[in-house]
Chain A
């Protein structure tokens, strides 16, 4: 997988804070992000009217697709405020507005415990993976040693391995440690870094001017101080991206909670939602209003997260592709 070779930049600017974050900020100032009517689409010989028609049709199409993408959220949210009989009436504004579903979910399921469990897992998973990946990334970015590129290739190679191959022995490890049925297996693997984040953070570290660290070294800073006091603070944008990605990943993960969690009280929210679906959905009692409401509760936190870190999310994903 050879990366898109970027045009050389004059300044040793960190990759993500520069190109990707510029990409992520909405008011595009980049060379190609301008109005189609002015430069890019200034098709020679085209009349003003045709340009306008083009713009309007692009806008209309974009609006149409946006509605398509947003609609399921609105449907879900509004269904969660409908009584049982009206869930499927496909109205966006409930005929009968009720808050009962939320109370029912709270009573029928240990929702509070699920939320607490998920918060615990998510916080531990994100903090540990961010720290450990940053350390490892720094090891690969700053120091020079024989075999470094080969070792880093191995890091990247692990991303190709399907999770199914390691799934069962990993389960056996946690089983042998007596951790099945606890929350530990859902996050503790993150203590050792994760290939994708190591890659992301290494890219960022490589973009930082080395003179800074050499200066710190001359001032008598040891390796840990250089990392902790100098490099890490400079690397904040990439740390934020790592944090956000992992937050989303561990909040929404179902498979691991299916494998490791046994008692309903220990469930995470996605696992809980699955159990509610089994009880009240298809195979169960057809109380879809409960399933719908639990889905809203499961989804809301990540949506909020997205609106907080939207810029970083978009920048992070943009970086993923161009470095492939």
Chain B
């Protein structure tokens, strides 16, 4: 992130680091700066710092909002360890993440490479690809139930043309997650745009030079384009993994009834869905807080592993990392 200050366009911004001696003029800038930043500082204190600390405390208590929290030590974590639904929801979440993240990455890269070849029509196609991303996730959940419906859904109708007897995507427990993943591919658009922007930044000189050396289009894609955009691919990988771990709205919409009609589907019981139900439907706020902390630790660990693993594969231009 430090590079953000060193944008090159603004020497003054570059010079302003922590290690610059604080002179008089600078000292006078602290207060106006803090005045401008104060909304964030206040908000950070109230809506981030305190909640983080308090949820840590709550995770050690039994709390149902009505009665005051009662301290139970690590009992919630112990219960969590033995809760088969936790294991199930973790398994579901991992299944979804492990399949959807690489599929999104490869799919978006493919579409971005295609778009990069589109010439003047890029704008039209980009709009078409991005539009689904605008759709409210609730509506995506509804669409999932409609389009992937086992009996009359359009997907199975199309599969039928090819003689394939499509599965019951929305009811068969072993097909519920593949259905969700398939539907999530529909909202791939923002990833495509991020990758396309990176493709546009690959210097043409590199391609020209490789062409002079006799490299064909495939070689240039694998040896130049992909390494050059690897930081962006890595960024997308991190962000998409973190959000896949927190999958909620589409699954909750489609498979968990609230209000008068309650229904649920264990195959779509993702971790955050389970957490939400524990906290806000069953009011086990202490237990849900413990769940949240476990999720936090898992996400941090996975991100750390990804950073560690990326050292070999991510190429930072002009930056020896």
Interface residues of A (CB under 8 A from B): 1-9, 11-13, 15, 20, 23, 26-28, 30-37, 39-41, 43-44, 55, 58-59, 61-62, 65-66, 69-70, 72-73, 75-76, 79, 87-90, 132, 135-136, 138-151, 153-156, 158, 160-173, 175, 189, 191-193, 198-199, 202-203, 206-207, 210, 223, 227, 248, 251-252, 254-255, 258-259, 269-270, 273-275, 277-279, 281-284, 288, 291-292, 295, 298-299, 302-303, 305-306, 310, 313-314, 317-324
Q: Which stretch of B77-85, B172-180, B230-238 is in the interface?
A: B230-238
A-B contact count (CB 8 A): 402
How many angstroms from the CA of A261 to the CA of B296 in the assembled complex?
26
Known: A5-B318, A139-B37. A33 touches B200 (CB 8 A): yes
* 16 further contact pairs, Cβ within 8 A, besides A8-B9, A144-B20: A4-B232, A34-B119, A62-B121, A66-B125, A66-B128, A76-B143, A135-B36, A145-B34, A160-B303, A168-B292, A254-B138, A254-B249, A283-B263, A295-B142, A298-B136, A306-B134
Assess whether A165 is in contact with B145, with CB atoms less than 8 Å apart.
no
Known: A3-B4, A4-B231. A136 touches B50 (CB 8 A): no
How many angstroms from the CA of A172 to the CA of B279 in the assembled complex?
12
Assess whether B260 is in contact with A278, with CB atoms less than 8 Å apart.
yes
How many angstroms from the CA of A282 to the CA of B259 in the assembled complex?
13
Assess whether B126 is in contact with A198, with CB atoms less than 8 Å apart.
no
Assess whether B119 is in contact with A35, with CB atoms less than 8 Å apart.
yes
- Which of B29, B117, B272 lies at the interface centre, i.e. has the most chain A CB atoms within 10 A of its CB? B117
Assess whether A145 is in contact with B26, with CB atoms less than 8 Å apart.
yes
How many angstroms from the CA of A46 to the CA of B305 in the assembled complex?
45
Q: Which listed residue (B8, B125, B137) contacts A9, Cβ 8 A?
A: B8
| Closest Cβ–Cβ distance, residue A41 to chain B (whole Å) | 7
Contacts of B276 in A (CB 8 A): 255, 258
Q: Which listed residue (B36, B135, B142, B200) contacts A143, Cβ 8 A?
A: B36
Assess whether B203 is in contact with A7, with CB atoms less than 8 Å apart.
yes
Assess whether B232 is in contact with A156, with CB atoms less than 8 Å apart.
no
Assess whether B292 is in contact with A72, with CB atoms less than 8 Å apart.
no
Assess whether B138 is in contact with A158, with CB atoms less than 8 Å apart.
no
Known: A169-B55, A206-B5, A254-B252. A35 touches B46 (CB 8 A): no
How many angstroms from the CA of A175 to the CA of B136 in the assembled complex?
27
Report 20 cross-chain contacts, Cβ distance below 8 Å, ordered by A residue: A12-B9, A26-B123, A33-B119, A35-B120, A41-B117, A72-B143, A88-B149, A90-B154, A135-B39, A139-B34, A146-B18, A156-B1, A162-B299, A165-B292, A166-B52, A169-B58, A283-B257, A317-B190, A321-B197, A324-B235
| Closest Cβ–Cβ distance, residue A225 to chain B (whole Å) | 12
Contacts of A284 in B (CB 8 A): 261
- B73 part of interface (Cβ distance < 8 Å): no
Contacts of B35 in A (CB 8 A): 139, 223
Assess whether B40 is in contact with A70, with CB atoms less than 8 Å apart.
no
Contacts of B242 in A (CB 8 A): 160, 162
Contacts of B37 in A (CB 8 A): 135-136, 139-140, 151
How many angstroms from the CA of A90 to the CA of B35 in the assembled complex?
58
Assess whether B194 is in contact with A278, with CB atoms less than 8 Å apart.
no
- Which of A145, A148, A255, A283 lies at the interface centre, i.e. has the most chain B CB atoms within 10 A of its CB? A145
- B258 part of interface (Cβ distance < 8 Å): yes
B124-152 Cβ-contact flags toward A at 8 Å (1 or 0): 11111111101111110111011101001
Known: A192-B47, A255-B249, A320-B194. A6 touches B8 (CB 8 A): yes
Q: Which listed residue (B147, B154, B262) contacts A283, Cβ 8 A?
A: B262
- B91 part of interface (Cβ distance < 8 Å): no
Assess whether B10 is in contact with A322, with CB atoms less than 8 Å apart.
no
| Closest Cβ–Cβ distance, residue B207 to chain A (whole Å) | 7
How many angstroms from the CA of A79 to the CA of B139 in the assembled complex?
14
Q: Which listed residue (A72, A147, A171, A203) contacts B132, Cβ 8 A?
A: A72
Assess whether A143 is in contact with B33, with CB atoms less than 8 Å apart.
yes
Known: A148-B18, A151-B37. A169 touches B10 (CB 8 A): no
Assess whether A3 is in contact with B1, with CB atoms less than 8 Å apart.
yes
- B195 part of interface (Cβ distance < 8 Å): yes
Assess whether B40 is in contact with A165, with CB atoms less than 8 Å apart.
no
How many angstroms from the CA of A162 to the CA of B275 in the assembled complex?
12
How many angstroms from the CA of A228 to the CA of B132 in the assembled complex?
36
- B95 part of interface (Cβ distance < 8 Å): no
Assess whether B120 is in contact with A206, with CB atoms less than 8 Å apart.
no
Closest 10 CB pairs of A and B: A192-B43, A26-B123, A139-B36, A321-B194, A324-B235, A143-B33, A318-B197, A169-B51, A283-B261, A252-B136
Q: Which listed residue (B123, B263, B316) contacts A2, Cβ 8 A?
A: B316
- Which of A156, A161, A282 lies at the interface centre, i.e. has the most chain B CB atoms within 10 A of its CB? A282
Contacts of A269 in B (CB 8 A): 136
- B109 part of interface (Cβ distance < 8 Å): no
How many angstroms from the CA of A13 to the CA of B305 in the assembled complex?
37
- B199 part of interface (Cβ distance < 8 Å): yes
Contacts of B118 in A (CB 8 A): 58-59, 62
| Closest Cβ–Cβ distance, residue B23 to chain A (whole Å) | 10
How many angstroms from the CA of A27 to the CA of B118 in the assembled complex?
11
| Closest Cβ–Cβ distance, residue B19 to chain A (whole Å) | 9
Assess whether A302 is in contact with B9, with CB atoms less than 8 Å apart.
no
B212-242 Cβ-contact flags toward A at 8 Å (1 or 0): 0000110000000000000110111011001
